[in-house]
C-alpha cells in the first residue's frame, strides 16, 4: 500500500512538472518576431507576428500608433500596423512587449520609403476634370448634329412624308 501511495505522489509531481513547462516557456517573452514587409511606403501597412505572448501584448514604434496584440492561448499572435502618412523615410525600430509577467521586449527593424503605392482600384470614385467634361460635351454635340443631318438628308432623298 505504501508503494502505491508513493507511486501516486511521484506521478502527480511528474504531471505538475510536465504541465508547468509550457507556462515557464511562455514567460520568456516574445520569440520569432517577424515584420512583413520589411520595406513599406508612407501610409502603408505592416504585419507583425510573434510567438510566446499567450496573454497578448503591444507593439510600439515612432512610425505608427501603438498596436495591441490579441490574447491567444497558443502564444502565436499577429497584428497589423498602419504607418503614418507623414512618417519620415528611413529605418525604424518596433518593440514587441508581451503582457505575460517577467517578459522583456524584443525589437525588430523595418524601413519606411517615400511616397505611396499605386492608387489603383479607384474606379468611378474620382470625378471628371473640366477638360474631360468639355471633350464629352463636344462628342455629344457632334453626335446630335450628325444624327440630325443624317435624318434630314434621308427624308429629302425619300421624297418626304406623303
pLDDT value of position 100 = 79
Query: What would the grid cell of residue 107 be?
Result: 525589437
pLDDT value of position 16 = 47
pLDDT digits (tens, 9 = 90+) for 75-114: 788 999 999 998 899 999 999 998 877 888 899 999 999 8
pTM (predicted TM-score)? 0.54
Mean pLDDT of 15-39: 66
Question: Between 154 and 70, whose confidence is greater?
Answer: 70
β-pairing, 106-113 vs 39-41, is: parallel
Q: In angstroms, rounded to a whole number, what is the distance separating the alpha carbons of residues 52 and 70?
A: 12
Peptide bond into 67 cis (omega under 30): no
Three-state secondary-structure class, residue 58? strand
Chain mean position to CA 47: 6
Amino acid at each position: 500500500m505504501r508503494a502505491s501511495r508513493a507511486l501516486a505522489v511521484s506521478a502527480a509531481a511528474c504531471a505538475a512538472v510536465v504541465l508547468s513547462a509550457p507556462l515557464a516557456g511562455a514567460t520568456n517573452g516574445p520569440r520569432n518576431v517577424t515584420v512583413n514587409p520589411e520595406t513599406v511606403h508612407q501610409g502603408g501597412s505592416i504585419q507583425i507576428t510573434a510567438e510566446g505572448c499567450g496573454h497578448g501584448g503591444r507593439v510600439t514604434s515612432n512610425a505608427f500608433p501603438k498596436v495591441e496584440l490579441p490574447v491567444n492561448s497558443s502564444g502565436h499572435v499577429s497584428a497589423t500596423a498602419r504607418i503614418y502618412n507623414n512618417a519620415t523615410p528611413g529605418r525604424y525600430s518596433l518593440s514587441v512587449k508581451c503582457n505575460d509577467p517577467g517578459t522583456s521586449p524584443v525589437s525588430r527593424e523595418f524601413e519606411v520609403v517615400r511616397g505611396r503605392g499605386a492608387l489603383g482600384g479607384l474606379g468611378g470614385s474620382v470625378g471628371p476634370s473640366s477638360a474631360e467634361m468639355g471633350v464629352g460635351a463636344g462628342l455629344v454635340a457632334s453626335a446630335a448634329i450628325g444624327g440630325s443631318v443624317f435624318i434630314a438628308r434621308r427624308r429629302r432623298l425619300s421624297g418626304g412624308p406623303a
